[in-house]
């Protein structure tokens, strides 16, 4: 089970992992907490769908999410509390954070109860969400973390909690490699980043628990990114990195382990290569 804040997060941060396991026939449930109503629109002819205009972007991004799920092989896609229950809160500090229906204003126990119902039905062995900073500090990501961890705690207390809970991350060694690889590039997606500490995310290699190599599924991730055209334009830095790093960038995703025991791993830091490592098959 993956708990994500907006349509496109499932693809950008865990798309290769999803495609990897879905292709193996693993049951994958995606829970998305908002419709992404406050997002940017990188498709000019759709500009009037914006929140400040017709306010129809959420419905459009629902369709983008379904197309991305088809590309990744996800067949069980849910919205927390039902489609439209929680509104995209916008970036931290904006007036949209005060919208009465926005996810940032949600009652934590009520939102966790919605997720607990899905957990009670699906009984996930493994849950993936964000760290306490929501990976990069977006209010909906922070709230998705809080709701997922609260629901997992309550599921465990009721006897059907996940054996493992992972948080998305990127090792600092990978960030350093990216910064140096693009240092001389005119199309440098890391422009302005002098050192790893300048990123609002990143984990020391020692703290990383799992490296999921899904390079054989990186085309599925790119196809899913294309489905999120309002959020990821053809000029996105994601594509320029993919063009330079290819499947290594698009097809490898990393996680820290927040709940549960690490399974067998390899390499200098004992990174798991399977999120189900150590669990009974």
Ligand X SMILES: CC(=O)N[C@H]1[C@@H](O[C@@H]2[C@H](O)[C@H](O)[C@@H](O)[C@H](O)[C@H]2O)O[C@H](CO)[C@@H](O)[C@@H]1O
Which is closer to ligand X, CB of 35 or CB of 122? 35
Looking at beta carbons only, is 12 or 250 nearer to ligand X?
Answer: 12
Rg, Å, the chain Cα set: 18
205: annotated binding-site residue?
Answer: no
**Cα–Cα distance measured from residue 19 to residue 26, given in angstroms and rounded to the nearest whole number:** 10
Nearer to Zn ion by Cβ, of 231 and 247: the residue is 231
Burial, 114: exposed, middle or buried (Cβ in 10 Å; 0-12, 13-18, 19+)?
A: buried
Find the shortest distance in angstroms from Cβ 33 to Zn ion: 9
Q: Within a 13 Å sphere around the CA of 78, how many CA atoms are in the beta-carbon half?
A: 19
Whether residue 114 is annotated as binding a ligand: the answer is no
Q: Where are the beta strands (DSSP E) in the chain?
A: 2-4, 29-32, 76-79, 126-129, 164-169, 210-213, 252-259
For the chain, the 3-state helix, strand and coil shares in percent, each to the nearest 5, are 40, 15, 45
Phi, psi of 217 (to 5 degrees): -115, 15
N-to-C CA span, the chain: 17
Give the binding range for Zn ion (CB under 5 A) out of 6-14, 41-49, 147-155, 252-260. Answer: 6-14
In the complex, least distance from residue 23 CB atom to ligand X, rounded to whole angstroms:
24
Q: Which residue bears the tokens 């798309």?
A: 15
Nearer to ligand X by Cβ, of 90 and 178: the residue is: 90
Among Zn ion, ligand X, none, the one that 88 touches (CB under a kind-dependent 5 to 8 A) is: ligand X
Q: Pick the closer one to ligand X by CB: 33 or 119.
A: 33
Q: Which does 218 bind (CB under 5 to 8 A by kind): ligand X, Zn ion, none?
A: none
Q: Which is nearer to Zn ion, 233 or 265 (CB)?
A: 233
Residue 9 annotated as binding? Answer: yes
Single out the residue of 1, 2, 3, 9 in contact with Zn ion (rule: CB under 5 A): 9
- Per CB under 5 A, does 6 bind Zn ion? yes
Round to whole Å and give the CA distance between 126 and 79. Answer: 19
Sheet with strand 126-129: strands edge to edge: 76-79, 29-32, 2-4, 126-129, 164-169, 252-259, 210-213
Residue 38 interacts with Zn ion (CB under 5 A): yes or no: no
Ranked by CB distance to ligand X, the top (closest) residue is: 39
Would you tell me which residues interact with ligand X (CB under 6 A)? Answer: 6, 8-9, 12, 36, 38-40, 88, 90-91, 138, 231
Closest separation in Å from C-beta 42 to ligand X: 10
SS3 77: strand
Binding of Zn ion by 154 (CB under 5 A): no
Which residues carry a binding-site annotation? 6, 9, 141
Which residues carry a binding-site annotation for Zn(2+)? 6, 9, 141
- For Zn ion, the binding residues (CB under 5 A) are 5-6, 9
């Amino acid at each position: 089970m993956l708990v994500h804040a907006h349509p496109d997060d499932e693809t950008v941060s865990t798309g290769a992992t999803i495609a990897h396991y879905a292709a193996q026939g693993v049951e994958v449930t995606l829970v998305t907490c908002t419709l992404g109503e406050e997002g940017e629109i990188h498709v000019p002819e759709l500009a009037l769908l914006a929140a400040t205009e017709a306010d129809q972007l959420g419905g459009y991004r629902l369709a983008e999410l379904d197309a991305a799920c088809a590309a990744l092989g996800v067949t069980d896609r849910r919205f927390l509390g039902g489609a439209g229950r929680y509104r995209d809160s916008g970036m931290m500090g904006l007036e949209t954070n005060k919208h009465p229906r926005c996810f940032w204003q949600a009652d934590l126990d009520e939102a966790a109860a919605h997720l607990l119902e899905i957990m009670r039905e699906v009984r996930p062995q493994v849950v993936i969400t964000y760290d306490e900073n929501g990976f990069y500090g977006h209010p909906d990501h922070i709230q998705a973390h809080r709701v997922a961890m609260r629901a997992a705690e309550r599921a465990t207390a009721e006897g059907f909690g996940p054996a493992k809970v992972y948080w998305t991350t990127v090792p600092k060694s990978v960030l350093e490699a990216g910064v140096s690889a693009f240092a001389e590039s005119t199309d440098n997606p890391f422009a302005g980043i002098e050192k790893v500490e300048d990123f609002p995310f990143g984990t020391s290699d020692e703290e990383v628990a799992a490296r999921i190599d899904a390079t054989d599924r990186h085309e599925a991730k790119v196809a899913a990114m294309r489905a999120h055209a309002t959020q990821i334009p053809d000029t996105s830095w994601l594509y320029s990195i993919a063009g330079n790093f290819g499947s290594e960038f698009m097809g490898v995703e990393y996680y820290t382990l927040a709940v549960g025991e690490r399974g067998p791993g390899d390499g200098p830091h004992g990174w798991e290569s399977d999120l189900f490592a150590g669990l009974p098959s």
